[in-house]
Structure 1
Amino acid sequence: PNLDQLRQEGMSLTHMFTPATTCSPSRHALYTGLYCVRSGAYPNHTQVFEGTQSFFRYLKDAGYRVGLQGKTHVGPPKSFPYEHVAGKNPDDFPATREFLSRDKEQPWLLVFASNDPHSPWNRGPKELHDPEQITVPPYLYDNPTTRTLLCDYYREIHKLDAQVGRLMKMLDQTKQRENTLVLFVSEQGSSFPYGGKWSLYDNGIRIATLARWPGKIAPGSTSEAMVQYVDVVPTFLEAAGIDPKTIDTGCPDADGNTGFDGRSFLSVLLGQSREHREVIFSQHTTVGINGYKAPYPMRAARDRRFKYIRNLAPENEYWINGIHGAEPFPSWVRDSKSDPSLAARVRFLSHRPAEELYDLEIDPLETQNLSDDPDYAEVQRKLSQSLDEWMRQQGDQGMETELAAHDRQPGRRRRSAEENRD
């Protein structure tokens, strides 16, 4: 009910996209305004290049008190100079209230980084959902194991919803509800097979987003403008009266530009613009994930209607312990022995073609690959060309970048392929 109320009081952005579908890269993009390969934060458990800055630094320099409560997963600390409110405990609400109440005259930024609904899904009220009564999304295989885990996932969403409600109540209690810009986003999609995490399908990169700002954002409004996480920092800066174009991020792209990859969508929030981006980009790096079998880099370009995915090592088996080694996927494998259509779906999860193309207008679940259809050759050529240029500008060398991912994970021991299967 609290997220529903937030939506009623603000704007739902239906086409927000993360440029990466693992925890650390998505957060780095959200806080820096930079795509992940350029910033250096492209594998999981990573950090940005030395000298790269974040909106914590920009707003702190502008006189804001900046804090983060809950999950961190970004670094190095010098690039993210926030006050760590309540340590890593997102449920320490007395500490939240103290931060919000400390100095009524000083503006502030608080990132409330809940860990819900991150797997394992073991929190929240169990009695809310009956596995036999829920509707299973059509991209998932419907069996008892899937239904039970969906209920666990949903109850953690309820826990997150309750956290949102407590935060909004604190804004009421501190008399700041009417002058605070609130933005609700997620990391990426769920870790169900085809649920989004560790993939570039819309279930992973298209993120539920709500924005509320009384007197600025029209209540109950909706925007279909295509925006990305890298656009959030410039938007916050413009909302704070800072020109994003004057910022030096400390991290040049391949052309020597040190400005943001993102662009402010404040005009979208204010109802002044209906469009923002024509094409969005995303990438996935498998190297460095706990429990990966072999390098399996993915890149994607998406416009309003079509999605183009390039799998850079299709000869390898795509295998991640968080998907393939965790339920419900093993139950799917067992059931697939007597279900040929499920067997094909199970097989595709690990063995994909070099290129994928989907018409999202007629195939929103991305099940019909059109990459070999001559009727769509020109669509694929244009998106492939856009992806090539984006990768060049980002300094993305494809497979070479993938294999260098461990170098972006300070302090983490390189793991052999055999170890990663454990």
Structure 2
Amino acid sequence: MLLRFVFLSTLLCCLTGYFSPVSEAAEQKPNIIFIMADDLGYAELGCYGQTKIKTPHIDKLAADGMKFTQAYAGCMVCQPSRSVLMTGQHTGHTAVRANDLNQLLYEEDKTVAEVLKAAGYATGMFGKWGLGYAGTSGQPLKKGFDTFTGQLLQVHAHFYYPFWIWHNNEKRMLPENENNQRGTYINDLLHEDAMNFIRENQSQPFFAYLPYIIPHVELVVPEESERPYRGKFPKKQILDPRPGYIGSEDGLTTFAGMVSRLDDNVGELVAMLEELGIRDNTLIIFTSDNGGQGGTWKEMTDFFNGNAPLRGHKGTMYEGGLRVPFIASWPGKIKPGTTSDLQIGFWDILPTFAQVAGTKVPEGVDIDGISFLPTLLGKGTQEKQKYLYWEYTKDKIRSRALRRGDWKVVQNRMNQPVELYDLGKDIGETKNLAKQHPEKVKELTKVMQQAHTEPRDFPQNLKPIGIKGYVK
């Protein structure tokens, strides 16, 4: 009898240990956090060569993980770039191909959030969406996200002190920002909700998509972020030409403060993961939705060498509009201090995250992406893209570009000549080699034509709420 009791007691202890939280944590799927800045240039981080703006937390993320030198956004402006990210399809195939409030995701457009949710992940999104507004099939809660705080329309994400913001399907009112008051800096609220989501879901696998709106203009940030830079740069007034937008009397200082505030957000996030004991089981990606800003803000971008050594800026198909900083950190999985020159694009995110989660892209869902998990882990054979393709299509206006190997073609308008560059020898795209290599132009132009499918015929009678009624 005594031996039987001892045996049963030992068995019970073993079973209790087997089903304990520690054992469950050991078997839990990896958490995934995707942080995406807005309009952050390729060289506006210290780890990519920035010397005037301090980004110690993001730099440490790179030092602890892998930095990509040839990573590309989905497009050269925000809305189509985000569509590529969500669907795993480049802009020759994805639904949204322009900054156009009428372009959005439909029910049949499967997203990375839907793939991860089906794999047992809690999913949360905090920031700029741009792929479907209230009452449409493209809302975040209809595209795989359990919870959402942010802006449905990209134009709403231009403002840092609005008097309301979306939380799930309801408006969260911010009376402290009414009548031009500056009570709540909206990116702080997005960050706070993201942190709370992670705390609440720490005991299960989660996907946190954090498309923060910094450092997209408006050019404004709380004083404590500007203070470290005050007096260090030439004082330049940088005012937004659009009515109702906040500008800055000390624009260079304000911009540097915005980037540093984003860096602080990253530092707080990593510190919380360590405090919760889940840092080692969390893959963090940090990137930007497109290149650094031009236009009214080109002088600012040039002062900080924000896109150096690349040509162009946001809104162009040159490298300065498309190539972005891209950092991956996963303790114990990604070797610290590594650099990769693998050519990847936003369409590669969906299959990569699916593989991280131990699942597959659903049958019948066509994507252009290839998982780069073998590169992250330094294991297995890395399949490479045959080419990278981008287009911007709105009405009858289309610009496009394609990279294959070191060759890149750019066509700024369909009625303009195709330009040819050798990025292996000319990263700044200074020498157009089209006349010297007409056969290469012809060859790559044919590939561009094959990469393009006709865009969706969106109805033009949709009427999303504009800027009026959101601020001021």
Tell me, which stretches of 5 or more residues in structure 1 are unaligned? 135-147, 250-257, 288-294, 315-352, 415-422
Matches within 5 A, 1:175-190: 175-190=277-292
Q: Distance in 2 between matches of 1:58 and 1:356?
A: 38
CA contact (8 A) 2:125 2:194 kept: no
CA, structure 1 residues 36+227, in 2 after alignment: closer, same or farther (shift >3 Å)?
same
* Equivalent position to 2:463, from 399, 411, 422: 411
**368, 372, 397: which one aligns with 1:261:** 368
Is 1:284 the counterpart of 2:384? The answer is no
TM-score of the pair, normalised by structure 1: 0.72
The question of whether the paired residues in 2 share the 8 Å contact of 1:268 and 1:276 is answered with: no
Deviations 1:336-361 (A, max 9, x none): xxxxxxxxxxxxxxxxx422112223
Change (3 A) 1:248 1:133: farther
Structure 2's unaligned 5+ residue stretches are 1-55, 133-137, 152-185, 237-249, 296-310, 467-472
Q: Take 2:284 and 2:263, find their aligned partners in 1: how far apart are those partners?
A: 14
CA contact (8 A) 1:47 1:408 kept: no
Which residue identity does 2:125 align to in structure 1? L
SS of residue matched to 1:297: strand
For 1:341, the equivalent position in structure 2 comes to none
Alpha carbons of 1:384 and 1:33: their partners in 2 closer, same or farther (altered >3 Å)? same
Determine if the alignment matches structure 1 residue 303 to structure 2 residue 404: yes
Question: Of residues 59, 70, 94 in structure 2, which corresponds to 1:39?
Answer: 94
Corresponding residue number in structure 2 for 1:320: none
Within the candidate set 126, 146, 150, 2:226 is matched to 126
Aligned residue runs from structure 1 range 5-84, under 5 A: 5-44=60-99, 45=101, 46-75=103-132, 76-77=138-139, 79-84=142-147
- Equivalences for residues 387-398 of structure 1 within 5 A: 387-391=448-452, 395-396=453-454
Change (3 A) 1:149 1:306: farther
Q: Secondary structure at the match of 1:178?
A: helix
**Equivalent residue, structure 2, for 1:271:** 378
What is the match of residue 144 of structure 1?
none
Structure with more relative contact order (C-alpha pairs < 8 Å, separation 6 or more): 2
Q: Assess, with a 3 A threshold, how the Cα gap between structure 1 residues 53 and 306 changes in structure 2: closer, same or farther.
A: same
Given the alignment of the two structures, is residue 97 of structure 1 paired with residue 195 of structure 2, yes or no? yes
1:419 alignment counterpart: none
Q: Say whether the 8 Å CA contact 2:74–2:85 is kept in structure 1.
A: no
Q: Is the Cα–Cα contact under 8 Å of residues 70 and 343 in structure 2 kept in the other structure?
A: yes
CA contact (8 A) 1:15 1:225 kept: yes
Q: Report SS of the residue matched to 2:430.
A: coil
Count of matched residue positions in the alignment of Structure 1 and Structure 2 = 337
CA contact (8 A) 1:268 1:275 kept: no
Q: 1:406/1:119 Cα in 2 relative to 1: closer, same or farther (>3 Å)?
A: farther
Per-residue CA shift, 1:242-297, capped at 9, x if unaligned?
123xx146xxxxxxxx322111111111123566224211112355xxxxxxx541
Structure 2 partner of 1:359? 422
C-alpha distance in 2 between matches for 1:409 and 1:367: 43
Deviations 1:298-323 (A, max 9, x none): 11111232210123444xxxxxxxxx
> Alpha carbons of 1:176 and 1:33: their partners in 2 closer, same or farther (altered >3 Å)?
same
* Cα distance in 1 between the residues matched to 2:128 and 2:393: 21
The aligned amino acid for 1:384 is T
Partners of 1:132 and 1:278 in 2: how far apart? 46
Q: Distance in 1 between matches of 2:66 and 2:331?
A: 11
Q: Does 1:160 align with 2:262?
A: yes
* 1:172 aligned counterpart, secondary structure: helix
The residue type paired with residue 54 of structure 1 is: T
Amino acid at match of 1:269: L
1:145-294 alignment to 2 at 5 Å? 151-193=253-295, 195-244=312-361, 247-248=362-363, 258-272=365-379, 273=381, 276-285=384-393
In structure 2, do the counterparts of structure 1 residues 381 and 243 end up closer, same or farther at CA, with 3 Å as the change threshold? same
Return the alpha-carbon distance in structure 2 between the equivalents of residues 18 and 11 of structure 1.
17
Greater gyration radius: 2
AA of the residue aligned to 1:380: V
State the TM-score, normalizing by the size of structure 2: 0.65
Q: Which stretch of structure 1 is more off in the superposition, 85-94 or 219-228?
A: 85-94
Relative to 1, partners in 2 of residues 1:221 and 1:408: Cα closer, same or farther, differing over 3 Å? Answer: farther
Change (3 A) 1:133 1:150: closer
